[in-house]
Amino acid sequence: AARDERPARRRDGRVELPRGAHLVDEGGLTFEVNFSERLDCGLFLDHRETRSMLRELMKRTPGGSFLNLFAYTGTASCYAADGGAGLTTTVDLSRPSLDWARRNMERNGFVGRNHEFIQADVLQWVADRRHEHRYTWDLIFCDVPTFSNSNRMHASSWDVQRDHADLIISVSRLLSRGGCAIFSCNLRSFKPDIETLEKAGVELVDITAKTISEDFSRNPKIHHAYLVTRREDGVTARELGL
């Protein structure tokens, strides 16, 4: 999608507020939403508890690093930064979404070179980082699309049921020692390939129930969420408070 080139308003002379956008507060943070100019409003309400969980997990490693994959408007990055992340890496294929993520971060006071925004095909980017063996993060959030066949992707298509195991394994290889990731998807019928993941030394714990807020309790399959750790690290969900 092309970036909206119409004049943008400014809030307090600091961070632009695009036409049709409004500001909302959540968890002590401020986010930009847009209900009139865009199909996507900018905030996935069903992941409110997940975002809070990421903030608490980040507090375990003050000054640590956070990676947000398929980052959309960067709300998870804001929560991680609020939890004390010294470095955030926000990755998405969409330039408008990354611009939105940058505004969300700036509006909450998270600015500077330690907060990077990368426009890339997430699947290819993760594969490249995995094989370079030079990059690790203490906490990773990976909220994947159910399906994609964008012509900007390196792969011909993405299907979460078919392709999730390889991605989760790759994400686990980007974790620093003792680190963890949260993997989520919206496919109601999703079934993780536990056997393949276990063979690769990946521990998967279903934490979906802990990420569903009360206002979504009547529709608990709104998303699936899993804690991802590496078996060799011996980190348990209980130790992480999950």
Structure-token pair, residue 126: 């993760």
Residue type, 77: S
The domains of the chain are located at 45-233
Q: Give the integer Cα–Cα distance in Å for 148 and 185.
A: 13
Q: Which CATH superfamily is domain 45-233 in?
A: Vaccinia Virus protein VP39 (3.40.50.150)
pTM: 0.90
Q: Which of 104, 93, 51 is nearest to 69 (CA)?
A: 93
pLDDT in tens, 126-169: 999 998 877 899 999 999 998 876 655 556 788 999 999 999 99
Distance in Å from the first CA to the final CA of the chain: 38
Instruction: Check if the beta carbon of residue 208 is closer than 8 Å to that of residue 188.
Output: no
Q: Give the integer Cα–Cα distance in Å for 168 and 28.
A: 31
pLDDT per residue of the chain (242 residues) written in tens, 0 to 9:
333 333 343 344 478 888 889 999 999 999 999 988 767 898 998 899 999 999 999 999 999 999 999 999 999 999 999 999 999 999 999 999 999 999 999 999 999 999 999 999 999 999 999 988 778 999 999 999 988 766 555 567 889 999 999 999 999 999 999 999 999 999 999 999 999 999 999 999 999 999 998 877 777 678 999 999 999 988 888 888 88
Instruction: Check if the beta carbon of residue 21 is closer than 8 Å to that of residue 34.
Output: yes
